[in-house]
């Protein structure tokens, strides 16, 4: 999956020291919440344990990352447009 990343989102990714790969993984594997005009993807502890128990994959680096994407541009197979990216304060990069 490839995401289209807005200039604002690029600034937030660099400012918050989050890799683009992490952003794409959160969109792919995170929990989705539909907002008005946007979709919010979050990767929390519950998501971590789901993949850890089921697949034995350690995705702890994704815990606390949230990605907001435009919902209007997503059609089958088209890339998501990332509007902004957040990381919970207690989940800092190692």
Confidence category of residue 57, pLDDT binned at 50, 70, 90? confident
Mean pLDDT of all residues in 61-69 = 94
Q: What's the pLDDT score for residue 88?
A: 87
Three-state secondary structure string covering the chain: CCCEECHHHHHHHHHCCCCHHHHHHHHHHCEEEEECCEEEEEECHHHHHHHHHHHCCCCHHHCCEEEEEECCCCCCCCCCEEEEEEECCCCCCC
Q: What are the tens digits of pLDDT across the range 26-46?
A: 999 999 999 888 999 999 999
Mean pLDDT of the chain: 86
**What per-residue confidence (pLDDT) applies to 94?**
41
* Lowest-confidence segment of 57-61, 65-69, 86-90 by average pLDDT: 86-90
């Amino acid at each position: 999956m490839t995401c289209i990343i807005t200039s604002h989102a690029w600034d937030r990714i660099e400012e918050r020291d989050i890799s683009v790969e992490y952003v794409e993984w959160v969109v792919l594997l995170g929990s989705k919440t539909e907002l008005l005009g946007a979709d919010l993807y979050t990767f929390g502890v519950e998501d971590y344990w789901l993949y850890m128990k089921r697949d034995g994959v350690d995705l702890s680096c994704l815990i606390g990352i949230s990605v907001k994407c435009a919902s209007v541009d997503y059609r089958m197979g088209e890339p998501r447009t990332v509007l902004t990216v957040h990381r919970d304060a207690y989940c800092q990069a190692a």
